[in-house]
Amino acid sequence: MNPSTDFIPYARPCIGPEEEAAVLEVLRSGWLTTGKVAKAFEEEFAAFVGCPSALTVNSATSGLHLALEALGVGPGDKIVTSPYTFVATAAVARHLGAEVIFCDVAKEDYSIDPGRLEAILAKEKGIKAVIAIHIGGKPCQMDRLLALCAKAGIPLVEDSAHAFPSKLEEGYAGTLGDIGVYSFYANKTMTTGEGGMIVARDPKILKRMATMRSHGFDRDAWDRYTSTKPAWYYDVVEAGYKYNLPDLLAALGRAQLRKAPAFLAERQAIAGIYIEAFKHEEALVLPPSHPAHSWHLFALRLRPGALRIGRDEFIQALAGRGIGTSVHFIPLHTMKYWSERYHLHPGDFPEALAKFQASLSIPIWHGMPKESVERVVGAIRETCLENRART
Ligand SMILES: Cc1ncc(COP(=O)(O)O)c(C=O)c1O
């Protein structure tokens, strides 16, 4: 890639010879599916975040599905989450026949608003779980959320798809609530192409998720081929899913996990450059900062009225300068399925709507050349300058 001329994507995985060697080793090992490499990945990840154990899954979506299932969420139950998320966060509740109550995001960030959540918990009956999302990798207001959920006796699931590694004083994001789910999708802070990891406070919940991850088997495939019981024998104790992560992908994950601290340092450095570059730009609102931010996303907002162009044209102008961007997120309540199911209007969640309308995620990835970061800064400055509203 030529950083001076080529298109700069908003996200890009960073794969090196270590990942290639690890995958090749599995390819040559004679065991491709979930086995000892996935187990080692689980152990190493658990040690990293300071949990006794962790569970690999083939996506964070599966992880969230398993999480709600293990918490006993079923038909007629309700879960609360924010509309400012990727659809998987809410869709998994529907897979289980449960309903979703949306709660707007806080004024100061992109995550569920504790004040509004408190009002919902006080009013609604039948809530089985709250799912809080660490949008972009900025931790939610965890102390307030944990206190509210504890008071209501409702489990808190952390959608930590963006928040690895986000280390707060109390511990890593994802390990503070009842269940934490991480994503290793291709654009995430570490990747297995597709994949995810789950941690849970209660070992019984983790055990339930392990069983449901693999067809409801009483033993996993690796155990079947390594234990003293005959390999062909298994019992099925539940109607489970098939959500396991193969060793081929776990090998990638182990190599990426070793690099996670260095990856984080790179993204922090890029975020620092952006913050410095744009802090005096009147047309832009910087993303909320936090010492434990994983900087999976760097979402700028356009200050209303400051430019002659809107967010969509701003994105086009950057694309014209070879800069890729994305939008995180289109709020779920503005989408056909969710708006029709719950009779929702765009203005029902004003914070989520306003943030969505003004936001764009700009390139931030470990391995991003310095010249590319400088090009992004230059293109954004020029676009602001050329389109400043006349006062
Ligand atoms: C907030 C959030 N939750 C969950 C997911 C689902 O992750 P996965 O693609 O690993 O299923 C994503 C994916 O981008 C996400 O952004």
Sheet holding 196-200, edge to edge: 55-57, 196-200, 179-183, 156-159, 127-133, 78-81, 99-102
Rounded distance, CA 178 to CA 199, Å? 8
Given pLDDT bands bounded at 50, 70 and 90, which one contains residue 221?
A: low
Return the residue whose CA atom lies nearest to atom 16 of ligand 1.
86
Rounded distance, CA 90 to CA 141, Å? 20
User: In this model, does residue 237 exceed pLDDT 70?
Assistant: yes
Percent of the chain with pLDDT over 90: 94
179 Cα to the center of ligand 1, angstroms = 15
Q: How many CB atoms lie within 10 A of CB 3?
A: 14
Rounded distance, CA 357 to CA 143, Å? 29
Beta bridge partners of 102: 81
54 Cα to the center of ligand 1, angstroms = 18
Pick the CATH number of 257-386 from 3.30.200.20, 3.20.20.70, 3.90.1150.10, 3.60.20.30: 3.90.1150.10
**Among 185, 189, 327, which is best to mutate for testing ligand 1, by the most ligand atoms less than 8 A from CB?**
185
Given pLDDT bands bounded at 50, 70 and 90, which one contains residue 112?
A: very high
Which pLDDT tens digit goes with each residue over 136-189?
999 999 999 999 999 999 999 999 999 999 999 999 999 999 999 999 999 999
How many Cα neighbours within 13 Å face the side chain of 307?
24
**Among 59, 164, 183, which is best to mutate for testing ligand 1, by the most ligand atoms less than 8 A from CB?**
183
H helices within the chain, ranges in order?
17-29, 36-49, 60-70, 88-95, 114-123, 142-152, 203-213, 221-226, 247-278, 311-320, 336-342, 350-358, 370-386
Given pLDDT bands bounded at 50, 70 and 90, which one contains residue 4?
A: confident
CATH 3.90.1150.10 in the chain is located at 257-386
User: In this model, does residue 322 exceed pLDDT 80?
Assistant: yes
Catalytic residues: 188
Beta bridge partners of 362: 298
Q: What pLDDT is stored for residue 222 in this prediction?
A: 62
310 Cα to the center of ligand 1, angstroms = 27
Q: Which residue in the block uniquely carries the two structure tokens 């994001």?
A: 173
Q: Tell me what the mean pLDDT of segment 280-296 comes to.
A: 97
For residue 205, give both structure tokens: 């919940």
Q: Tell me what the mean pLDDT of segment 128-143 comes to.
A: 98
Average pLDDT for the chain = 96
The CATH number of domain 17-256 is 1.10.3720.10 = no
Ramachandran angles phi, psi of 2, nearest 5°: -95, 105
Q: Which atom of ligand 1 is nearest to the CA of 187?
A: 14
106 Cα to the center of ligand 1, angstroms = 21
For residue 359, give both structure tokens: 């936001």
User: In this model, does residue 133 exceed pLDDT 70?
Assistant: yes
Q: What pLDDT is stored for residue 1 in this prediction?
A: 73
Rounded distance, CA 80 to CA 367, Å? 37
User: In this model, does residue 309 exceed pLDDT 80?
Assistant: yes
Rounded distance, CA 391 to CA 385, Å? 14
CATH 3.40.640.10 in the chain is located at 17-256
Q: What pLDDT is stored for residue 219 in this prediction?
A: 76
Q: What pLDDT is stored for residue 224 in this prediction?
A: 65
Q: Is the pTM of this model over 0.95?
A: yes
Q: How many CB atoms lie within 10 A of CB 216?
A: 15
User: For every residue of 6-17, which 3-state class applies, written as one string?
Assistant: CCECCCCCCCCH
Q: What pLDDT is stored for residue 390 in this prediction?
A: 77
The residues lining ligand 1, judged by C-beta closer than 6 Å to any ligand atom, are: 59-61, 85-86, 88-89, 133, 159, 161-162, 183, 185, 196
Given pLDDT bands bounded at 50, 70 and 90, which one contains residue 5?
A: confident
Which pLDDT tens digit goes with each residue over 51-67?
999 999 999 999 999 99
134 Cα to the center of ligand 1, angstroms = 11
Q: Which atom of ligand 1 is nearest to the CA of 184?
A: 10
Which pLDDT tens digit goes with each residue over 15-60?
999 999 999 999 999 999 999 999 999 999 999 999 999 999 999 9
Return the residue whose CA atom lies nearest to atom 9 of ligand 1.
185
Q: Tell me what the mean pLDDT of segment 225-237 comes to.
A: 80
**Among 56, 62, 82, 86, which is best to mutate for testing ligand 1, by the most ligand atoms less than 8 A from CB?**
86
182 Cα to the center of ligand 1, angstroms = 8
Rounded distance, CA 12 to CA 324, Å? 11
Q: Tell me what the mean pLDDT of segment 379-389 comes to.
A: 97
Q: Which helix (H) or strand (E) is 129 found in, with range? A: strand 127-133
Given pLDDT bands bounded at 50, 70 and 90, which one contains residue 391?
A: low
How do strand 179-183 and strand 156-159 relate by DSSP bridges?
parallel
